[in-house]
Structure 1
Amino acid sequence: MGGHRARVTVVRGDLTTQQVDAVVNAANRRMRGGGGVDGAIHAAGGPAVLADCVARFPQGLATGDAGWTTAGELPARWVIHVVGPNHRAGERDRGLLVSCYRRALEVADELGARTVAFPLVSAGVYGWPLADAAQAAVETLASTPTQVEEARVVTFGDATDAAVRAALAGLPGT
């Protein structure tokens, strides 16, 4: 779809309270909720999110892929679930991390979402090195053709916020 690029922004805050069309969840392959961002989204979205995950993803979702569900009680309309690589478990293929952002934008285009809020995928419990996680996010979101107007990276904590802002400042033309 589309030939333009999203405007990449960074916001310090709570992913679950973003007023956007879609919020991206850093899910696990089972797609049944979990810790970190995944747990927060399921908790804030309520049981409808899990019910939709079970119905739409009976076999779960592959690492690097994305799919959508209802957002339940969240202010967003949809949750786009991505499964990032688990660096701590030896999944070190950066292509899988990049694929999460690309696929999320493709799913957003299918849904007609124009504003999408992203966490920093794989940078939490999955242990992807922070600076590289931020670089992969910002570069991919800034360079992938999409109909999404704003790709908002929502950061939690000083280190994550600083890493994303540094990656954004390093983009050509910014």
Structure 2
Amino acid sequence: MDWMVAASSVAAVFMGIGALVVRMKAAKKPASAKKIIMPPLFMSTGALMFLFPMFRVTGMEFLEATAVGLVFSILLIKTSDFEIRGNDIFLKRSKAFPIILLTLLIVRIVGKLVLSTSIDVGELGGMFFILAFAMILPWRIAMFKKYNRLKRKMPAQSGIMTEKTAF
């Protein structure tokens, strides 16, 4: 089972690097409600892992993972903001975001190494999924609210001609 812990830790490093690259590229393109909402929706399919007994967690493990995820989400919410550039809304680059992401990755790996001695690797995988989802969902909801707040401040830009503009 030690190889599973090592393999999942290596996978986590690559996913963390991937998330950082995706986030940096996303800051170069205009944001949209769809781009904000879709990641947690796609991630929610991972809950199907709980159909298999090896990934199921106790009620207390669920609450612990959720609480840690909610605390970590605060860091992500605080470092995610939007700005209006021209006629579009863009995600602001945050110098703290890569540091926070790498710190969360290190905490995850250390936590997995420590907890894998007392919690089955399958349950641990379930707990880390719950933690990640409890972190991402509030973060994306907060981003969606910030995005909509800015969108309402933007001047209306409809391409529809009215009677006044047609003549």
Task: Give TM-score, length-normalised by structure 2.
Answer: 0.28
Write 1 or 2 for the structure with the bigger share of strand. 1
Write 1 or 2 for the structure with the bigger share of helix. 2
Which structure carries more relative contact order (alpha carbon 8 Å, separation 6+)?
A: 2
